[in-house]
Structure 1
Amino acid sequence: MRTYQSLSGSSNFLFEIQNRQWEGVIHSVFNRTVNIICDSGEIYTIAAEELDNAPNTLRVTELFSNQPKLLVKTPVFSQKGQLVIGEIAAINTRNAKEWHYPTINFPKKQEYSNIRIRVEQLNEWLSQVENHGGYLLNNTQRTKYEQMIHTMLLKESEQLLAYLKEKQLFQAMKQLNRVIGLGPGLTPSGDDFLVGLALIFTTTNYPYHSLKQWLINSRNEMKKRTNIISFSALDWAIKGEARERIGSFLNELFYGEDENALKSKMLAVLAIGSTSGGDMLTGMLAGIKLTMDL
């Protein structure tokens, strides 16, 4: 059994491995990630070193390049500061750097005019990006199916935003069921849009507590209507956390002054998945606009 080194990990995951008897089983295996499900039903992830930090995630060197045979239902457990994967691999975490999602403060009203300018700039850049699906579909080679899904996503999410703007939260809860799970893929576009929206409503000092509470009240409904991996991202967004590059993007959008840095960080978010990054960006920008319009 070979031992690998963890470069970094979310603080809570490192604490579990180093201080508790943590155990689970492999839930799913991908090219650069392995998802583990523990007894509570929560998803944890082992990720390749080139990926960014994220909640419940451990970044590991060489594991994926060596391509060990990692199989679904293989037991995974903590032992003396290591995360042990069956009889296949052990991951040492003693020198791993703790990662925390940054605090994102929502701008004050006197800063809204500047934020509007930056959001307009982002929308202009996004309109020029070649995208093959989801909310940002602008490829001339689009299929009829992609166009149909794109149209449905826009229609249903615009109705959701309209209900939220009018504070018709009961209607918004019902409309949520038309967005969650909408679109193909492991994390449907509708779910990714809701992740982006949630990350705005859960920023520190967010001015409309009722929208944050609406999210919390919607959690169980979301869990019933999508798969566990997609729900995991939604659940963390409801807690106000996401991948490292998303936090970096939001802080740059709200408080940065460098246009090139903003574009670079936008492109880093766009690079998440096939359409997930664009869908989350759409949700974040929609949440910001909604807030400033209220």
Structure 2
Amino acid sequence: MKFTGERIPILNRGDQLREGKYYLHSSFERALNYSNAGRFISMVTPEVGSGPDSLVWCELPEDALHEIEIGGLEGGATPWMSWGGNRILLDAVPVFDSALPRFSAGDRGAFGERIQLFEHLLKKHAPERSLVFLLDTEREELFRRGFEEALLQRFRKGAGLLREQRYLECFTELRGLGWGLTPSGDDFIAGVAMALRFHGSSLDLDGATLTGILSDEASSSLSTHLIRRSFQGLICARWKTMIQTLKTGKEVEIERALLRVLDVGATSGADTSTGWLLGLRGENWG
């Protein structure tokens, strides 16, 4: 089916999309990830939701597109996307604002109370084999001896470094630790990064040391990209809703938003949430 010159039902596009050709990196039922030299674009379903580098389609193509191109984002041109002879215009597609919400000092009291509720709900709903054991030691029994015990010890060490605000040492210890497309250690770091950006940490986010820690050599290029976005304060819609709800939301709204976050990957949402919570505590926000 040809779409040349037509506007098709793409619900929104991320505000960090960049021009260029992108090639299929990974394919899932609800997401197609494309990469080019460390940059990523994701085509996702509405269930996944918006993100800084996402195109939210009403329905993904039946066959994964192996190469896409984005253009017209610069110089006042009309933005477009093309693949395999198809070309669609994106100028009428709403742009998602991925900026991390910010609160004032006056919001701290109510926010702190809701963070306690957030922790309670996280312990209640998080999958068993997630990093929530750092908040609930009884969960450690779910991990077997041997290799998993060694991982457990490293995660404990990383959390201890975080509590002492030794951030770079924490990141070095946990970078790439775990398994999956985005290892648990990387998801945890992304959560900490959001917390640091949220309260305006003075950590040198552009320093050479941090750049080395977040190199692709330390873990997967997709993990590197997602962590960098977190340090830049650019987040997905699920997390934006989560944080906004922690400002004014009722318990049922906070729980609903958290369940959406926990729906990311097998344990990714819970691992990121654990990093977010411990990162806030390290800066006296929770």
- Please give the range of the TM-score, normalised by the shorter of the 2 chains: 0.7 to 0.9
Q: Could you say which residue in structure 1 is the equivalent of 2:158? A: 157
Instruction: Choose the corresponding residue for 1:232, options 221, 225, 228.
Output: 225
Query: What CA distance in whole angstroms lies between the structure 2 residues aligned with 1:293 and 1:99?
Result: 27
Equivalent residue letter for 1:237? S
Gaps of 5+ in 1: none
| Pairing of 1:112-127 with structure 2 (within 5 A) | 112-127=108-123
1:105 aligns with 2:109: no
Query: What CA distance in whole angstroms lies between the structure 2 residues aligned with 1:49 and 1:115?
Result: 29
Tell me the secondary structure at the aligned position of residue 186 of structure 1: coil
Gaps of 5+ in 2: 73-77
Query: What CA distance in whole angstroms lies between the structure 2 residues aligned with 1:85 and 1:156?
Result: 47
Query: What CA distance in whole angstroms lies between the structure 2 residues aligned with 1:214 and 1:156?
Result: 25
In the TM superposition, residue 76 of structure 1 has moved relative to its aligned partner by: 3.4
| Pairing of 1:205-244 with structure 2 (within 5 A) | 206=199, 208-209=201-202, 211=203, 213=205, 217-223=209-215, 224-244=217-237
| Pairing of 1:168-183 with structure 2 (within 5 A) | 169=166, 172-183=167-178
Contact 2:100–2:234, Cα closer than 8 Å, also in 1: no
Tell me the secondary structure at the aligned position of residue 31 of structure 1: coil
Q: Could you say which residue in structure 1 is the equivalent of 2:60? A: 63
Instruction: Choose the corresponding residue for 2:9, options 5, 23, 36.
Output: 5
Deviations 1:230-278 (A, max 9, x none): 111101001101111101111221x214222112111111111111111
Contact 1:215–1:238, Cα closer than 8 Å, also in 2: no
Aligned structure 1 segments of 4 or more residues deviating by more than 6 angstroms = 138-141
Deviations 1:206-245 (A, max 9, x none): 3541x35488851332223110111111010011011111
Equivalent residue letter for 1:176? F
Give RMSD over aligned pairs: 3.0
Instruction: Choose the corresponding residue for 2:251, options 240, 249, 259.
Output: 259
Query: What CA distance in whole angstroms lies between the structure 1 residues aligned with 2:30 and 2:41?
Result: 14
Contact 1:198–1:215, Cα closer than 8 Å, also in 2: no
Deviations 1:61-88 (A, max 9, x none): 2224xx12434xx35354874312235x
Tell me the secondary structure at the aligned position of residue 95 of structure 2: strand
In the TM superposition, residue 130 of structure 1 has moved relative to its aligned partner by: 5.0
Q: Could you say if the C-alpha distance between residues 226 and 6 of structure 1 is closer, same or farther in structure 2, counting changes exceeding 3 Å? A: same
Equivalent residue letter for 1:228? S
Contact 1:9–1:57, Cα closer than 8 Å, also in 2: yes
Query: What CA distance in whole angstroms lies between the structure 1 residues aligned with 2:209 and 2:140?
Result: 40
Relative to the length of structure 2, the TM-score reads: 0.82
Q: Could you say which residue in structure 2 is the equivalent of 1:25? A: 23
Tell me the secondary structure at the aligned position of residue 292 of structure 1: coil
Contact 1:46–1:57, Cα closer than 8 Å, also in 2: yes
Query: What CA distance in whole angstroms lies between the structure 1 residues aligned with 2:279 and 2:181?
Result: 23
Tell me the secondary structure at the aligned position of residue 214 of structure 2: helix
Contact 2:176–2:219, Cα closer than 8 Å, also in 1: yes
Contact 2:205–2:231, Cα closer than 8 Å, also in 1: no
Q: Could you say which residue in structure 2 is the equivalent of 1:148? A: 149
1:43 aligns with 2:40: yes
Relative to the length of structure 1, the TM-score reads: 0.80
Q: Could you say if the C-alpha distance between residues 148 and 25 of structure 1 is closer, same or farther in structure 2, counting changes exceeding 3 Å? A: same
Contact 1:6–1:92, Cα closer than 8 Å, also in 2: no
Q: Could you say if the C-alpha distance between residues 153 and 7 of structure 1 is closer, same or farther in structure 2, counting changes exceeding 3 Å? A: farther
In the TM superposition, residue 197 of structure 1 has moved relative to its aligned partner by: 0.8
Equivalent residue letter for 1:179? L
Q: Could you say which residue in structure 2 is the equivalent of 1:281? A: 273
Instruction: Choose the corresponding residue for 1:54, options 37, 51, 54.
Output: 51
Equivalent residue letter for 1:24? Y
Name the count of aligned residue pairs. 271
Query: What CA distance in whole angstroms lies between the structure 2 residues aligned with 1:62 and 1:243?
Result: 19
Query: What CA distance in whole angstroms lies between the structure 1 residues aligned with 2:87 and 2:46?
Result: 16
